[in-house]
Structure 1
């Protein structure tokens, strides 16, 4: 829009603050030379000369003063500016092309930078998508699993989960791309591979790509094009995985800009497991990576690639796969639209409803697969599959996914059985492993904890989403506080939370309430006030 505005075609709408950038900007309603309406956002710190250049204001001193004065009213309207997708508040979710709000919020969407070139959008009707994409996927466990996972992004905050995802591992030409295109059609399309991105396109821009899919769904395909050599490709894929699960742009000494951050569910396709990729490129695999990005065998073992059910005895697996892909390229975005419309209404009416629903379905799934018998990474992976099941169930509750819940449970548990974990990933469950897991989480994430001595206000949502809380004690030291869901889903590193709490209590690292309760009441700044949390003594990191 820069340098495209003529005199008289710009009007100050108000001023706004971007919660991510922490910057105030002027917001202008403008028209380009073709007469199309748009909004232009210019930082408040921009000089008068820059403002004139951006809006092509008259250069005469008197005319310039008159126009600039009209752009600086005494009581301008105030707006929220949003530069990445995701939740603005419990009743407002933003995508690059629409704001879903049940509480009257009307943020300004910054269509520059991260929002440019997005593939969010809609084509066709929801019933078209259900008939042509969702129903053919029924009976094909990997396709059902991928579609269910696609709804998880907006629910990750409620579930207390950080960025995680899945690698669909298998040879080329077995239908992996069609599965990804079908899953991406929930959110949008328009590209040659629908809503998906290529590994190569993200090679030097993974942080921006991740932030532009914040709290939604990111798909990465065409692994063979990720580098000029197999080693380059392996390095690109592994690097993307590390960056994605980090949840924040890598800091550099010379950087002064606000770093990108994100929380999302991700799915990619490769021909090799992460273990194999690490061997190919000669780089050791980081500890814990296999439970944050889970390798899944894509081939269903039925002689039809990723497929198990063709629904038509006269067709072939390749024709079925092509037909599913073509349908997803033509019908897209309506499922995510319908899901978000209902989710924001539901969340606005009861901010805790989604968290309660997800927790109950996750616990049901974990009981179904007997996850309590497992420990370490295997248990942590089980929680991720439980989350996919819960996400799909909510999409079913909203009338978006048209499948019986028992078949959804069967699809997730079937794909769960195809995870690719090396034998050494199965850890022993001992008091030491529990203490080491909690101490390791605190040491790794302490810089991200909220220091309560520096806060004057705090909400329930901020407590739930915090990596942890540094809470001052009367002795001049600090204790580490965690919301219950954060502790169970992240801090325990896949170990059974009740078992971890028992081990911590026995080692005198857990503060307990009278009567042996493993949560304690603490005072927080308003509007939160008193809340029950899990409290870990600072001594755990000094052992």
Structure 2
């Protein structure tokens, strides 16, 4: 409340029935308001243009004592023009908010769905966001603004989406972005993105045709840029194809064009700032991932990452869930969640970055971020499109992505919301065209098949300027170069699986027993239990170590995990506690795949 703005009746709140919406056609909303009758006060009113009270905006029309003792009207400017379009809350009835529309000091009207939790305390953070978006505020009337926000009760209600990406709304798919919701018909008006910070990663410039002519066509004949753009498009497919986070890492010499590929990928969803670097903490990266769910996380220069942390960061990103944190009252907050296509680059591999920091890389991390060597005939390029060399083509693309961006991704989603095909089945079908010979390679093939499908669908929709088969060809090439880089690692992987299978064939009946059996077992290795998918063997630690046949336990668990043989776990651990005879030993739940998976 501003100075000397006391209300009669002990400061009673403004009557909500008198809160008026902006009427841009008149400087005053009603004739009554021009006269400002005392019996109407106190109330808030919005004015889109200058009034007899002063500049445009939200005003509080109140009463205060005068020297004569009679109430005296006063008119206090609170902020620039603002209105509450709708009330909001999420699907669970939590995260209540208001969808605001306001006029900045410069530029067009803006909207922001603000969480009501930002009114806690003095509401300083909320006012800071509004100021950063250009709304002018009266520094002496911040309590008035809080009062108006707290009392606003718009008739319209919308669902608050607290993360971007896919949501289900009335049986239809909705893809929520900060400034728009993509879904069939006009249902998009029923859901809005709501966050404490009104920043928008998904900026746009130029048209889709500009992007296709200046960027898309120049990717043709160049598998690495095609793969990069396809990877950026793969994010929205993850949910539809029942997949979790998938990632690839471009490895190549300095100045070969890796960053240009990432910039082309970033142009799918936003401007140059959509590409980030690895220079981030684990917690910082977690927040970024949640803000980009169902799209793409693009990270340049893996050499800038902390080698001591990057392994756990890869696991966290790949698992799609952040750390569980406590509120001030000690209750657990909902952890942040995401699904992402990850595209990374660097002069070294993930494994090399970890080894330099004296950290041991494992197969699970390698499976979540596939190393793809990108060196081609002209840096990352094969076809120069009438330009003199690879550097000239790279420079041309770098200029183009600063003019044309942020149109391809939303256009792709606009087609996906109507897509009725079995996309999971199509990924599996495409994966069959990759020359994989074991579960680890099969997992990599599935990742690259998903990326290929994204590029092929976008081409089928007429969005890319490519020919049918370009994206699949690029993905198969990437798979073949990735596989060559595995060297002896796969032989070791297969040997571990073969050792465990051989151990079970030899000792599965003699050194294991049913979990509810009471008879003694000599030299016990564990227990077993059958379910609808077959028999699960629960190894104790010493038994698993023996079954690995000399391989390090962690290395063995990496191979078993990558092959999908670990079928039960507690959280991020690769073991589980099982109640047996009143005790809860920690065991490793292993179910071997079919025999042919070792071939």
Instruction: Tell me whether the two structures share a fold, i.e. TM-score over 0.5.
Output: yes
Give 5+ residue unaligned stretches, structure 1: 448-490, 501-543
Which residue is 1:398 aligned to? 461
**Greater C-alpha Rg:** 2
| Residue 344 of structure 2, aligned match among 264, 268, 276 | 268
Residues 1:306 and 2:380 are matched in the alignment: yes
Please list, as runs of the form range in 1=range in 2, the aligned pairs for 1:315-394 lying within 5 A after superposition.
315-344=388-417, 346-347=418-419, 350=420, 353=421, 356-360=422-426, 362-371=427-436, 374-394=437-457
Cα distance 1:223–1:50, how it changes in 2: closer, same or farther (>3 A)?
closer
C-alpha contact (below 8 Å) 1:375/1:496 kept by paired residues: no
In structure 2, what is the equivalent of residue 526 of structure 1?
A: none
Which of 483, 486, 492 is matched with 1:421 structurally? 486
Structure 2 unaligned segments of length 5 or more: list them.
1-55, 61-80, 128-136, 502-534, 537-559, 574-588
Deviation at 1:172, TM superposition (A): 0.9
Give the match's secondary structure for 2:402: helix
Counterpart of 1:71 in structure 2 is 152
Counterpart secondary structure, 1:307: coil
Paired position in structure 2 for 1:537:
none
Write the deviation string for residues 389-436 of structure 1: whole angstroms up to 9, x where unpaired: 111111112111222223332221111111133523453366956966
Which of 192, 196, 210 is the equivalent residue of 1:108?
A: 192
CA contact (8 A) 1:7 1:57 kept: no
Aligned 1:481-520 pairs, distance under 5 A = none
Report the alpha carbon displacement of residue 370 of structure 1 after superposing the two structures with TM. Answer: 4.0
Q: Secondary structure at the match of 2:432?
A: helix
How many angstroms apart in 2 are the aligned matches of 1:204 and 1:281?
19
The 5-angstrom pairing of residues 15-164 of structure 1 reads 15-19=87-91, 22-32=94-104, 36-39=109-112, 41-43=114-116, 46=119, 50=123, 71-72=152-153, 76-89=155-168, 90-103=172-185, 104-106=187-189, 107-110=191-194, 112-113=196-197, 116=199, 118-164=200-246
Q: Distance in 1 between matches of 2:228 and 2:342?
A: 10
Q: Deviations over 1:137-158 (max 9, x none)?
A: 1111111111111111011012
Partner of 2:324: 251
Q: Distance in 1 between matches of 2:397 and 2:314?
A: 28
Provide the rounded CA distance (Å) in 2 between the counterparts of 1:308 and 1:110.
44
In 2, Cα distance between the equivalents of 1:52 and 1:274? 38
1:7 is paired with a residue whose SS is: strand
Displacement, 1:260? Answer: 1.5
4+ residue runs of structure 1 moved beyond 6 angstroms? 55-61, 63-66, 495-500
Q: Normalized per residue, which structure has more helix?
A: 1
Shift of 1:329: 2.1
Q: How far off its partner does 1:222 sit?
A: 3.2
Structure 1 residue aligned with 2:133: none
Report the TM-score when normalising by structure 1: 0.69
Distance 1:169 1:275 in 2: 12
User: Equivalent of 1:278, from 326, 342, 354?
Assistant: 354
> 1:149-202: CA deviations, max 9, x gaps?
1111011012111112011112211110011111111111143xxx20111156
Name the Cα RMSD after superposition: 3.9
Count residues with an aligned counterpart: 428
Q: Distance in 1 between matches of 2:180 and 2:467?
A: 31
Cα displacement (A) at 1:65: 12
Cα offset for 1:247?
Answer: 1.1
Q: Taking structure 2 as the reference length, what is the TM-score of the superposition?
A: 0.63
CA–CA distance in 1 between the matches of 2:477 and 2:118?
55
Q: For residue 310 of structure 1, report the CA deviation from its aligned partner.
A: 1.1
Tell me the residue number matched to 1:511: none
- CA distance in structure 2 between the partners assigned to 1:235 and 1:48 by the alignment: 39
> Which residue of 1 is the match for residue 532 of structure 2?
none
Higher relative contact order (CA 8 A, sep 6+): 1
Q: For 1:24 and 1:413, how far apart are their aligned partners in 2?
A: 47
Match of 2:19 in 1: none
